[in-house]
Amino acid sequence: MTATFIHPLTSFVQKTFVITEFELRKLRHDFTELITRALQPALWLLIFGQVFARSGAMHTGNIPYLDFIAPGILAQSVLFVAIFYGINVIWERDLGIVQKFLASPTPRAALVLGKGFSAGIRTLSQAVIVYSLSLLLGVKLNWSPLALFNVLVIVILAATLFSTFSLVIACIVKTRERFMGVGQVLTMPLFFASNAIYPTDIMPGWLKMVSHLNPLTYVVDALRTCMLAGSPSTLGLSLDYAVILMTMTILVFVGARLYPRLAT
Amino acid sequence: MVSSGNMSNLVLEIKNLTRRFGVFTAVDDLTLSVNAGEVFGLLGSNGAGKTTTIKMLTTLLPPTSGEARVAGFSITTQAVGVRRAIGYVPQAVSVDGSLTGYENLLIFAKLYDLPHREQQARIAEALDFMNLAADAKRLVGEYSGGMVRRLEIAQSTLHRPKVLFLDEPTVGLDPIARDAVWKHLIDMRANYGTTLFFTTHYLEEAESHCDRIAIMHQGKLDALGTCKELEASLGPGHTLNDVFVHYAGSALDTGNNFRAVSAERATAERLG
Ligand SMILES: Nc1ncnc2c1ncn2[C@@H]1O[C@H](COP(=O)(O)OP(=O)(O)OP(=O)(O)O)[C@@H](O)[C@H]1O
Ligand SMILES: [Mg+2]
């Protein structure tokens, strides 16, 4: 045996990145997926966005409507991609892969967070797509390196958050059929009860309250602050980051507790 | 019943191990010890509780009651110690088809904290040993069933575990691939003293490779000993098949469930 003593925290960080690395290695052949994923944000921005921008129905203050929803659509596509991530662990469970990892000394939280990060990095392609479309549509973007870096971090954290949420659901429902059902039921409410495509000011009181409990609202606000020229934040970037990081941490803990259920 | 060996030599000590699912008892008061370096076969018809037993011993499933020590570590209170000391090859396919053979080994070398300097040498040795060196850079999705099993064994023994648990290691393999898998397992025991604890439905496999076997039936341990002892216990002229039929009711028992079959099918499909 070659067990050397390693500090638990060091080990946790190391193992998390090992899991992330190998999850990403699996993607080498996944180019069709990148193309199909580009479709949805394109439809939302090019059709929905343009129609509503023309109608002038949405009052988004001094920001043009297309500018207003570009970060919202990025957040939405991050959500839609990440929320179905859990199907992979169900697939790995139906084989024996999850069981084998759980029988290894790898910390459970590292298994969960490692997978979450990999989903986060995968989702960066959505940022590239939304930025390209925004450029095409004349959205006034903030190109400062700090702003771009923030967008990168927010997208990764948001995707980690929602993919970990997805993994938690997978650990509870355990079968593909139930998982797809739950995933579909959850995405639309999360999306509509947020500030992604309209400001929370125009919502009825109850919905406004719900939207403030919805992590997607904070993701959208953070992206809006960093992506757009003029940094139009409603909630404040620090609050956004705090809510995102806290929700993510809680979900990783819950995921680490529930993940062993997949092996039983 | 025979159980020999002094305390320090026992790598597996199972005491009154029990697991219930609701009111159903899948493993019922199992008590049994295995010596270091032994090849131990757990036999029993579908639903006998073999996989459930292995899952408890590998810390994947908490027991309802009872206790077990694996390489000296308690499965209930020292799970991480157990995990460091064991290797596990599950019933279904457990390597990743979208990674290469080499990558499948590399990730486990890292997860088990093999010293950085040794990783490449260990992996190369394991690939050589399992006859997979030429296919190391191919995606595992393109491997044959026998290659997949050999890779799984390589993967779960990179860290030189004290005990290797194998759940039906040769299911779905043709006779040549089965022989190859066994040759590697036996070599491994000879080289590293690894204790092998495995389940199987192939009696001839148990007969030719096991030091001792246990027969489980409806969650209970019904027979334990060397093949010779078990055959002799029924009187002269009996085969291991007779022993199995005597203790397990028949070779094809009821109690077979959907998950077992679908897991097996999934394996067969992937190994296809
Ligand atoms: N998670 C579970 N929930 C409920 N019942 C279960 C669960 N896992 C196993 N069982 C039941 O426990 C019994 C023993 O199952 P187990 O998988 O241990 O059998 P086995 O001996 O490995 O069978 P096989 O040879 O088919 O692999 C079966 O009747 C099975 O239905
Ligand atoms: Mg089984």
- Least Cα separation, residue B203 to chain A (angstroms): 24
Query: Residues A147-161: pLDDT tens digits?
Result: 999 999 999 999 999
The reply to whether residue A95 touches residue B270, judged by beta carbons under 8 angstroms, is yes
Residue whose Cα lies nearest atom 10 of ligand 1: it is B26
What percent of chain B has a predicted confidence (pLDDT) above 70?
89
A17 in Cβ contact with B175 (< 8 Å): no
B69 phi/psi in degrees, rounded to 5: -115, 130
Which chain B residues are within 8 Å of A99, Cβ to Cβ?
A: 55, 60, 88, 90, 92, 94
Contact assessment for residue B185 and residue B38, using Cβ atoms and an 8 Å cutoff: no
Q: Looking at CA atoms only, how far is residue A137 from chain B in angstroms?
A: 38
**Cβ pairs bridging A and B (under 8 Å):** 92
Q: How far is the CA of B263 from the centre of ligand 2 (A)?
A: 9
Q: Over the stretch B61-79, which tens digit does the pLDDT of each residue have? A: 999 999 999 999 999 999 9
pLDDT digits 0-9 by tens, A230-258: 877 888 999 999 999 999 999 999 999 99
Residue B258 has pLDDT above 80, yes or no: no
CB atoms within 10 A of CB B235: 8
Is B59 within 8 Å of chain A by CB? Answer: yes
For chain B, give the percent of residues with pLDDT over 90. 65
Supply B52's token pair: 């459930």
**B216 Cα nearest atom in ligand 1:** 21
B238 at A interface, C-beta within 8 A:
no
What value of ipTM does the predicted structure carry?
A: 0.87
What average pLDDT does range B232-248 have in this prediction?
Answer: 80
Q: State if residue B49 touches ligand 1 by the CB under 6 angstroms criterion.
A: yes
> What pLDDT does B232 receive?
80
pLDDT score for A2: 47
- Tell which of B21, B95, B110 to mutate to test the A interface (max A CBs under 10 Å): B110
Q: How confident is the model at residue A29 (pLDDT cuts 50, 70, 90)?
A: low
Predicted local distance difference test score (pLDDT) of residue B269: 47
Out of A227-236, B31-40, B233-242, the most confident range is B31-40
pLDDT at A33: 76
Residue A18 to residue B107, Cβ atoms within 8 A: yes
At B158 the pLDDT is 93
> How many residues does the structure list for chain A?
264
Q: Please indicate whether, in this complex, the C-beta atoms of B60 and A18 are within 8 angstroms of each other.
A: no
Q: Between chains, do A105 and B83 touch, taking CB under 8 Å as contact? A: yes
- Closest-CA residue, ligand 1 atom 24, reads B46
For A95-137, write each residue's pLDDT tens digit. Answer: 999 999 999 999 999 999 999 999 999 899 999 999 999 999 9
C-beta neighbour count of A130 within 10 angstroms = 29
| B86 band by pLDDT with thresholds 50, 70 and 90 | very high
Nearest CA among A96, A122, A135, A105 for reference residue A6: A105
A1–B266: do the CB atoms touch at under 8 Å? Answer: no
Give the pLDDT confidence of A41-96 residue by residue, as tens digits.
Answer: 999 999 888 888 887 777 777 788 999 999 999 999 999 999 999 999 999 999 99
Mean pLDDT of A200-219: 93
Within 8 A by CB and 6+ apart from B221, the residues are B30, B31, B32, B214, B215
Residue of B nearest to A2 (CA): B114
**pLDDT score of B1 more than 50:** no
Mutate to test the interface with A, among B55, B75, B89, B107 (most CBs of A within 10 A): B107
pLDDT at residue B113 tops 80: yes
Q: Are strands B163-167 and B195-199 parallel, antiparallel or unpaired?
A: parallel
Q: Which domains does chain B have, with CATH numbers?
A: 10-95+160-271 (3.40.50.300)
Burial class, B252, CB count within 10 angstroms (exposed 0-12 / middle 13-18 / buried 19+): exposed
Angular region, B179: left φ>0, alpha ψ -120 to 50, beta rest: alpha
Residue range B144-189, pLDDT digits in tens: 999 999 999 999 999 999 999 999 998 888 888 888 889 989 988 9
The pLDDT score that the predictor gives to residue B126 is: 92
Sheet holding B86-89, edge to edge: B86-89, B163-167, B195-199, B39-43, B212-217, B220-225
B39: pLDDT confidence band, cut at 50, 70 and 90? very high
H helix and E strand count, chain A: 13, 0
- DSSP letter string over A106-145? --HHHHHHHHHHHHHHHTHHHHHHHHHHHHHHT--B---H
Interchain contact, B96 vs A18, CB within 8 Å: no
As a whole number, mean pLDDT of residues B10-18 equals: 96
Q: What is the pLDDT of residue B251?
A: 52
B61 touches chain A (CB under 8 A): yes
Of B17, B20, B21, which is best to mutate to test ligand 1, by the most ligand atoms within 8 angstroms of its C-beta?
A: B21
Is the pLDDT reported for residue B238 higher than 90?
A: no
| Per-residue model confidence (pLDDT) at position B252 | 45
Q: Is B121 in the pocket of ligand 1 (CB under 6 A)?
A: no
- pLDDT: which is higher, B271 or B191: B191
